[in-house]
Chains A and B, each alone.
Chain A
Amino acid sequence: MELASRLRPALRSAALMASLAALPLQADTLRIAIMGEPASLDPHKISGTWENDVAGDLFEGLVTEAADGERIPGVAESWEISEDGTAYTFQIRQDARWSDGEPVTAEDFVFAFRRILDPATAADYAYLLYPVKNAEAVYGGEAEPETLGIEALDAHTLQITLERSTPYFLDQLSHYTAYPVPQHVVEEHGDRWSRPDNLVSNGPFKVQRWQSQTRIEAVRNEHFHDADSVALDQVIYFPIEERNTALNRFRAGEIDVAREFPTQQYGWLQDNLPEATHTAPFLGIYYYVLNSREGHPTADPRVREALSLAVRREVITEQILGTGEEPAYSFVPPGVSHYEPATLDFADMSQDERMARARELMTEAGYSPDNPLQLNLRYNTSEDHRKVAIAIAAMWEPLGVEVDLFNSEVAVHYADLRQGKFDVGRAGWIGDYNDAQNFLSLLESGVANNYGAYSNEEFDALMREAAETQELDRRGEIMTEAERLALEDNATLPIYYYVSRNLVNPALQGWENNIEDIHRSRWVSFED
């Protein structure tokens, strides 16, 4: 019987993937290659997407994600939102339990929110909770933790008060920054509470072992409120930075899911493992920052527009990348809830028309082959970034633009961007939550990640208006208007929308492509 159950997955997948010997150690163990070693298992001490893969299996927030990425009730079975959109009252499940059997209470959430906003915790991502009343003041030491807008009305009723109406707040509650932490365990073990021996979690799985840089093993949490519907007995996460290693291990049947396969292998994978190769639209934009600061040629809107007009985005997505990316003519990627992106004016023009217009603009701006525009273009180390930068420099050449390419590793690159030491800089943004505000806020005046220092009062005013609008569709329209303004100004140069790239054992059921590329092991099972 045991042997049969061990062999079953191999027989299943053999029919679909002749080259994949998908023979798991046991039928109900899922093996995932994540993109790196987690910094911690403490949800307050992480900031990466690969960490989210683990944390989201071990913990559950008030709201959680379904297999398709939609938000569904998590620890909270229901909630009410006040008319002005500033007070959320959650009913916490009576059967919500920590993995040690203790109940998950409203107090655990109060404790967790105060902890992540305590400067002593040094949480990178604490600012995601700034919509909560007094959160920023508490973090800055200007208000007592007790004044934070979160209160346990009783053991199973939690109230969160916001600074102002924040329509995307419910989505944010599924993010790991809003996960509860077990007060009784944190108080007992201090900072060592998240060590595998001590860790108590409330998600569908609980950690069993963490062998640093090798594997994290989690087993089903029998105290999880929906434990009966969890099919897997065990999940093993392998931190593998080398994408080719993950691909080889997938091909050898050593893992069932490999996150982010190497782009260079896409063609081979399509030919040889089509059933296993998943690409899907992803909530992210690859763009070039155009420095709007005085003294840079890109401060001139005509130059920015000309540069944008000359970029042949389809050539980049189809011929240079070729992994299903879509050319970007808006800054907010498609598929965002309650949002219709604005598009660049020239999206419908032919390339010849675009180039003619670009030449006119450059002439107006005072540049010509006799007086070429000198630009420095910075990008961080990656083969794809390099290829895109070279191609774009070549596309600008007919305009008489002379480009100096600067490559640096990621820390140096972003240090240079934040100091404004560039004309054009590569950047990307993956949405933290499914809302247009998360992207458009990058273009608000004075915002930390607004590397190009774009500033438009009208844009800022529209964003403020959107923040105060509760009706979701109307709010979306206002933000579309703001985006249109930014696109008219060519605040940035959108290039393409990201795609998620995963290799998934075809024997797996319940693994669905989704725009946020979030896949909780809770929904996954092996075929019978």
Chain B
Amino acid sequence: MLLYVFKRLFQAIPTLLIVITLSFFLMHLAPGGPFDGERQLPAEIEANLRAAYHLDQPVWKQYLIYLGNLLQGDFGPSFRYKDFTVTELIAQGFPVSLELGLWAIALAIALGLPLGIVAALRRNTSVDYLVMGTALAGVAIPNFVIAPILALVFGVLLAWLPVGGWNDGHWRNMVLPVVALSIQQIAYTARMTRASMIEVLGSHYIRTARAKGLTEREVIWRHALRPSLLPVISYLGPAIAGIITGSVVIEQIFGIPGIGRYFVQAALNRDYTLVMGTVVFYGILIVLLNLIVDLLYSALDPQIRYDD
């Protein structure tokens, strides 16, 4: 198993290198540069700034410099946030995004799984229609619509919760963004659990289990639940990565200092080092999360083995 993990990590290196190379050159190909803004700088000021960030060098040379620094664990200074290095910004933003994302996933599992199971067990009843109808709405309505509504209703009109801000991760500040972020995931999880559960409940071994005289509760808990979770687990890996890296809109709307905001701002500001830093970081994160999901998969399904 350990060897398998090492092998997977080793295999990720060329993938990451391709991601880095493509991102680097695409970024430099994009029109507009870090010093293009409403005010054009005098030529000597711009030349000086370009030199300070090696932008006066040919792009291939900049690429080699970047790779060299990256190998030493140096993501470089942010062009925009001049008091911070990219490493520091990621180190500040990531725990916030992670915390938010994990709560959202936890909520998605805590609500999505039981709702999906109930809908599957009450298939084609009003309960099923209600759950699936709500889930469909949850999938269809984007979170940039849900988030401002939540802020308006619970923050402004009812004044139960803060409208925005992070406040060191106080639970009151977290409620609305976590809910906004998890609604789609709850809906997806419920739909997927239902579908998977229905498929498993119709399989031969469940029929056999019932024929052996097991109670319905035993059939579901001992035989149906675990295999039903497999597709859900495989979905949750990328979902976690997606939530952590993709909570940009929610972070923006609720003013949360996560990594997603940096990514968007960096792209708009042409903050090359910060864009690259977040891309590389996301790349590593996705590789790791996929690996974790595969390992979880094997833990849940004894038929899947990762031989050394």
A interface residues with partner B (beta carbon < 8 Å) = 21, 37, 39-42, 45, 47, 119-120, 122-124, 126-127, 136, 139-140, 192, 194-195, 211-215, 238-242, 244-245, 248-249, 251-254, 408-416, 418, 427-429, 448-449, 451
What separation, in Å, do the CA atoms of A126 and B43 have in the docked complex?
12
B166 near A415 (CB under 8 angstroms)? no
B32 near A245 (CB under 8 angstroms)? no
Residues on the A chain within 8 Å of B257, using CB: 211-214
Q: How many A-B residue pairs have CB under 8 A?
A: 150
When C-beta atoms are compared, the residue in chain A nearest to B44 turns out to be: A140
Q: How far is the CB of A265 from chain B (nearest CB, A)?
A: 12
What separation, in Å, do the CA atoms of A429 and B268 have in the docked complex?
20
Is the CB of B235 closer than 8 A to any CB of chain A? no
Q: Mark B253-275, 1 if CB is under 8 A from A, else 0.
A: 11111100110010011100000
What separation, in Å, do the CA atoms of A413 and B33 have in the docked complex?
11
Is the CB of B92 closer than 8 A to any CB of chain A? yes
Residues on the B chain within 8 Å of A122, using CB: 48-49, 52
What separation, in Å, do the CA atoms of A221 and B257 have in the docked complex?
27
Q: Which of A119, A215, A411, A449 has the most CB of B within 10 A?
A: A411
A410 near B268 (CB under 8 angstroms)? yes
What separation, in Å, do the CA atoms of A213 and B80 have in the docked complex?
13
What separation, in Å, do the CA atoms of A522 and B32 have in the docked complex?
39
When C-beta atoms are compared, the residue in chain A nearest to B167 turns out to be: A214
Pairs A-B, 8 closest by C-beta atoms: A411-B32, A213-B257, A412-B32, A448-B40, A415-B36, A40-B82, A415-B32, A45-B82
Q: A39: which of B80, B151, B268 is its contact (CB, 8 Å)?
A: B80
B162 near A254 (CB under 8 angstroms)? yes
B255 near A238 (CB under 8 angstroms)? yes
Question: Can you list 12 residue pairs at the A/B interface with Cβ under 8 Å?
Answer: A47-B39, A124-B41, A124-B49, A211-B168, A240-B164, A245-B151, A245-B253, A248-B151, A251-B163, A412-B31, A414-B36, A414-B38
Residues on the B chain within 8 Å of A451, using CB: 40
Is the CB of B141 closer than 8 A to any CB of chain A? no
When C-beta atoms are compared, the residue in chain B nearest to A236 turns out to be: B165
B83 near A42 (CB under 8 angstroms)? yes
What separation, in Å, do the CA atoms of A21 and B258 have in the docked complex?
28
A418 near B83 (CB under 8 angstroms)? no
A248 near B164 (CB under 8 angstroms)? yes
What separation, in Å, do the CA atoms of A501 and B25 have in the docked complex?
41
Residues on the B chain within 8 Å of A412, using CB: 30-32, 36
Q: A448: which of B30, B43, B82, B164 is its contact (CB, 8 Å)?
A: B43
Q: Which of B52, B81, B82 has the most CB of A within 10 A?
A: B82
B interface residues with partner A (beta carbon < 8 Å) = 30-34, 36-45, 48-49, 52, 80-84, 89, 92-93, 148, 151-152, 155-156, 159, 162-168, 252-258, 261-262, 265, 268-270
B42 near A248 (CB under 8 angstroms)? no
What separation, in Å, do the CA atoms of A122 and B83 have in the docked complex?
13
B32 near A414 (CB under 8 angstroms)? yes
Q: B36: which of A139, A241, A418 is its contact (CB, 8 Å)?
A: A418
A211 near B81 (CB under 8 angstroms)? no
Residues on the B chain within 8 Å of A195, using CB: 83
A449 near B151 (CB under 8 angstroms)? no
When C-beta atoms are compared, the residue in chain A nearest to B39 turns out to be: A449
Residues on the A chain within 8 Å of B258, using CB: 213
Residues on the B chain within 8 Å of A449, using CB: 39-40
Q: How far is the CB of B50 from chain A (nearest CB, A)?
A: 10
Residues on the B chain within 8 Å of A40, using CB: 81-83
Residues on the A chain within 8 Å of B89, using CB: 212
When C-beta atoms are compared, the residue in chain B nearest to A136 turns out to be: B44
What separation, in Å, do the CA atoms of A412 and B267 have in the docked complex?
12
Q: How far is the CB of A113 from chain B (nearest CB, A)?
A: 16
Residues on the A chain within 8 Å of B254, using CB: 245
When C-beta atoms are compared, the residue in chain B nearest to A39 turns out to be: B82
A254 near B163 (CB under 8 angstroms)? yes
Question: 6 extra interchain contacts, Cβ-Cβ under 8 A, other than A120-B52, A414-B38, A451-B40?
Answer: A139-B48, A214-B166, A248-B156, A408-B32, A410-B268, A414-B36
What separation, in Å, do the CA atoms of A215 and B151 have in the docked complex?
19
B45 near A139 (CB under 8 angstroms)? yes
Q: Which of B34, B43, B268 has the most CB of A within 10 A?
A: B268
Q: B162: which of A252, A410, A414, A418 is its contact (CB, 8 Å)?
A: A252
What separation, in Å, do the CA atoms of A416 and B270 have in the docked complex?
15
Residues on the B chain within 8 Å of A254, using CB: 162-165
Residues on the A chain within 8 Å of B31, using CB: 408, 411-412, 415-416
What separation, in Å, do the CA atoms of A410 and B32 have in the docked complex?
8
Residues on the A chain within 8 Å of B164, using CB: 240, 245, 248-249, 254
What separation, in Å, do the CA atoms of A258 and B48 have in the docked complex?
36
Residues on the A chain within 8 Å of B36, using CB: 410-412, 414-415, 418
Residues on the A chain within 8 Å of B253, using CB: 242, 244-245
What separation, in Å, do the CA atoms of A139 and B82 have in the docked complex?
20
Q: How far is the CB of B132 from chain A (nearest CB, A)?
A: 32
What separation, in Å, do the CA atoms of A195 and B92 have in the docked complex?
15
Residues on the A chain within 8 Å of B32, using CB: 408-415
Given the interface pairs A195-B83, A448-B40, the reply to whether A127 lies near B165 with Cβ below 8 Å is: no
What separation, in Å, do the CA atoms of A136 and B257 have in the docked complex?
39
What separation, in Å, do the CA atoms of A167 and B60 have in the docked complex?
48
What separation, in Å, do the CA atoms of A122 and B268 have in the docked complex?
21
What separation, in Å, do the CA atoms of A136 and B89 have in the docked complex?
34
B49 near A41 (CB under 8 angstroms)? no
A414 near B37 (CB under 8 angstroms)? yes
Residues on the B chain within 8 Å of A245, using CB: 151, 163-164, 252-255
What separation, in Å, do the CA atoms of A122 and B48 have in the docked complex?
7
A211 near B37 (CB under 8 angstroms)? no
Q: How far is the CB of B55 from chain A (nearest CB, A)?
A: 12
Residues on the B chain within 8 Å of A238, using CB: 165, 255
Q: How far is the CB of B77 from chain A (nearest CB, A)?
A: 9
Q: A252: which of B48, B155, B167 is its contact (CB, 8 Å)?
A: B155
What separation, in Å, do the CA atoms of A37 and B262 have in the docked complex?
10
What separation, in Å, do the CA atoms of A124 and B40 have in the docked complex?
10
When C-beta atoms are compared, the residue in chain A nearest to B48 turns out to be: A119
Q: How far is the CB of A332 from chain B (nearest CB, A)?
A: 17
When C-beta atoms are compared, the residue in chain A nearest to B268 turns out to be: A409
Residues on the B chain within 8 Å of A140, using CB: 44
B166 near A211 (CB under 8 angstroms)? yes
B38 near A39 (CB under 8 angstroms)? no
A252 near B159 (CB under 8 angstroms)? yes
B159 near A21 (CB under 8 angstroms)? yes
B92 near A126 (CB under 8 angstroms)? no
Given the interface pairs A21-B159, A215-B165, the reply to whether A415 lies near B151 with Cβ below 8 Å is: no
Residues on the B chain within 8 Å of A249, using CB: 155, 162-165, 255
When C-beta atoms are compared, the residue in chain A nearest to B161 turns out to be: A252
A428 near B163 (CB under 8 angstroms)? no
Residues on the B chain within 8 Å of A37, using CB: 81, 265
